[in-house]
Structure 1
Amino acid sequence: MLTAGRSEAAPVPTDPFLSTVDEITAWFASSPEKVDAALSGSERERVLSRVAGINDAAAAGDRQALYAQQFLLDRVYRLHTKLPEQESAEGSVVVHEIGRMLETATSQAQDALVEPGLLDELPSEPRRYLSWLKQTARNHRVYKHPYYHEFIRNDATENDLRNYVMQESVVDGRFDDLLAMMQVGTAGAAKLEIASNFWDEMGNGDPAEVHTHLFNKIFEVFEIPEEELERSLSATSLLNGNLAVLLARYRALYGESVGFLGMTEWMAPDRFVQVVHAWERLGLPDVGITYHRLHITIDSQHAQGWFHNVVLPAAESPAMRRAIARGVLWRLNSSAAYLDERMPSAAA
């Protein structure tokens, strides 16, 4: 497992990939004009060549390169998803180029994991198609993965749950923003379903019940500071968070986002039952598990509403059927890679 600055497999400061990441991210607190002026001509070509080198190494299986790739993409996305406290390079042409190179390489890697021809054999009738999506998930090795059903439920220690929460923050900790981004341009039943889902995430108007606020209560229980959180995210954790942002922010990838986020919600209740069991087994403070208890019920309802009000209407279109299935497979495969990495046998 790769993490930043914590495990024995963590990248060392002399790692050339992370040196490139450090060089690039140092510009992110500058204005777009400053960045594009400094990184022009041969300097621009040099930086883009370094990013291409990271992508090539990651594609070849270099785990340090994969970490650097996803860490850098996460930092690019922060320019677009967090309010700046200083100058920001958001809007820089060069940063956009870097981001697109990372996104393209990440997308290609996920597509390479999809069984050839699978997306060409989808049922055309919407309800049969929906059944196919669910059965595909049930047949995937990530379904009822032993990380949740064996390790978390029966063996995880308090420190294991602490680390689990940090890794999960890349999706759970910003699900409301993902919904807000993906609903742009939608209409009708789909927009209403996304809006209903978002309003639940907002605690139905009660600030104390906002789901990101409840999720952050877990950080308080475990006393997790922001700097430790950033150091502790693994390559596959960053990948899962980056895929969610990638699909939610681009209108052309709306269908993939429907599949990715819908499958996330569909799998959550069963997983969270195991987390709640572990939490209670360890006798941890009740305030920290409210988020997971709540989502066992809510995500089950959301998933059904999502399937019937978002997926089924969209499944009338062959292009949308393919896009949604692609997003589902990305979610299943990236989640499997992440959970495989979390298993104690993999970390040993």
Structure 2
Amino acid sequence: MSTTREVRGGIDIIGVLDKMTVCGDTEALNNRAADRQYRQNLVDASRLLADRAFSDHEESAVRQAHAVLAKLYDWYFSLPSLEQANSSLESMLDDVREVFENAMIDDLVTRSDQDSLSTVPDDPQAFLPWYRQFISRHSASDHPFYRDFLENRATIPDVRFYLAQETVLDPRFDDILALLIRGTTGPEKMELVSNLWDELGNGTDADIHTSVFSETLDALGVTPAFIADNIILEATVCGNLSAALALSKRHYYRAIGYFGVTEYLTPRRFRSFVIGAKRLGIDKSAYRYHDMHIQVDARHGPSWFKNIVAPAVAREPGCAYDVALGTQLRLDTSTSYLNALQKTLDVDR
């Protein structure tokens, strides 16, 4: 465990989290959680780093802040040890997470295209037609990384590099759906459950999507070490934002926009991946995951709009802006990620 002096200095938040998240001493964790000064020092150090990252936009601080969030989300999406389950560790991690999460989202919202959101209709009948147009006009809806690079020019090393980036979201998507289901009713719950059941292979172990994705990584030698060595910042941003929107119920309406457009764009993106994989002669085991989603998400994308987004706007017309904002955040961060990915791979040629 870190000392109070180390925390107050704000020198190494990652180091502090490393020690806290592997600590198996329930009493030590609870003592830390009960130490108000320690927790305040931890929050103060977090705010210093978050300000440097998301207000001052210092490059090194941005990378550190996203590393902190990635570390936190690894913990939140994992089972705790028995000692941690009986401790107040989560309350301390919540303190840190809130600081970085709020700063990250506020920064992304500030940098989003507010003009494109100025015409969001709150009329349920008008919303979906506007919404589809809103998505189709964005550059992310038909990005050349998929349509051109993956289909026509990518090499097998490029594909491996790309798959490493995709690990920030795909292995967690079933858990994300489970989180979104909380409190929903009617067609919203049924659509989310249907989506989750497909992610779980419709009850067939061999077809559970996270397992099939792991097979894809194994087939191309995308190991945890390879991922750690090659992950780019823009991919980490996408993964962190996905986790942030899913974990907090206050972001529910943004989340259904964010993940709805993710589902909607998946079939065309994964079709490009399969075309490129076949061109390269890659074994089918390396693209079975993508092949499955072309069919599944061709249904889930439109159904998500009809059964989740539309009922939400009909029930709470004021949520239309948040749904559109969540969609905008997904489209913007996806574009930044794909631009950076293609630039990185083109430079390496």
Unaligned runs of 5+ in 1: 1-15
- Cα distance in 2, alignment partners of residues 26 and 238 from structure 1: 22
Which residue of structure 1 lines up, in the alignment, with residue 3 of structure 2?
none
Which residue of structure 1 lines up, in the alignment, with residue 337 of structure 2?
338
1:49 equivalenced with 2:48 (yes/no): no
1:82 aligned partner, one-letter code: S
**Equivalent residue runs for 1:271-290 within 5 Å:** 271-290=269-288
Per-residue CA deviations over 1:114-164 (Å, capped at 9, x if unaligned) read 233654531133242112222112111222112112222211111111111
Per-residue CA deviations over 1:292-331 (Å, capped at 9, x if unaligned) read 1111121110011111111111112222212211110110
CA shift, 1:19, in A, is 3.6
Equivalent of residue 61 in structure 1, options 57, 64, 70: 57
Which residue of structure 2 lines up, in the alignment, with residue 238 of structure 1?
236
Q: What RMSD in Å do the two structures reach over aligned CA positions?
A: 2.3
1:50 aligned partner, one-letter code: A
- Cα distance in 2, alignment partners of residues 252 and 96 from structure 1: 14
SS of structure 1 residue aligned to 2:167 = helix
- Cα distance in 1, alignment partners of residues 147 and 250 from structure 2: 36
SS of structure 1 residue aligned to 2:287 = helix
TM-score normalized by the length of structure 1: 0.88
Which residue of structure 2 lines up, in the alignment, with residue 125 of structure 1?
123
- Cα distance in 1, alignment partners of residues 268 and 162 from structure 2: 16
TM-score normalized by the length of structure 2: 0.88
CA shift, 1:226, in A, is 2.4
CA shift, 1:206, in A, is 0.7
1:55 aligned partner, one-letter code: A
Pick closer, same or farther for the CA change 1:310–1:41 going to 2, 3 Å. closer
Equivalent of residue 31 in structure 2, options 34, 37, 40: 37
**Equivalent residue runs for 1:213-224 within 5 Å:** 213-224=211-222
SS of structure 2 residue aligned to 1:61 = coil
1:323 equivalenced with 2:322 (yes/no): yes
* Percent identity between the two aligned chains: 28
Pick closer, same or farther for the CA change 1:93–1:199 going to 2, 3 Å. closer
1:22 equivalenced with 2:21 (yes/no): no
SS of structure 2 residue aligned to 1:142 = helix
1:73 aligned partner, one-letter code: L
- Cα distance in 2, alignment partners of residues 344 and 318 from structure 1: 40
Which residue of structure 2 lines up, in the alignment, with residue 4 of structure 1?
none
SS of structure 1 residue aligned to 2:264 = helix
2:121 aligned partner, one-letter code: P
CA shift, 1:36, in A, is 5.7
Unaligned runs of 5+ in 2: 1-8
Pick closer, same or farther for the CA change 1:290–1:97 going to 2, 3 Å. same
Which residue of structure 2 lines up, in the alignment, with residue 81 of structure 1?
77
Per-residue CA deviations over 1:48-95 (Å, capped at 9, x if unaligned) read 333222212222222322222122112212222111357447644332
**Quick one: higher RCO (CA 8 Å, sep 6+), 1 or 2?**
1
Pick closer, same or farther for the CA change 1:238–1:87 going to 2, 3 Å. farther
- Cα distance in 2, alignment partners of residues 256 and 159 from structure 1: 35
2:240 aligned partner, one-letter code: N
Which residue of structure 2 lines up, in the alignment, with residue 299 of structure 1?
297
1:29 aligned partner, one-letter code: V
Structure having the higher helix fraction is: 2
- Cα distance in 2, alignment partners of residues 174 and 249 from structure 1: 12
- Cα distance in 2, alignment partners of residues 315 and 169 from structure 1: 32
CA contact (8 A) 1:166 1:233 kept: yes
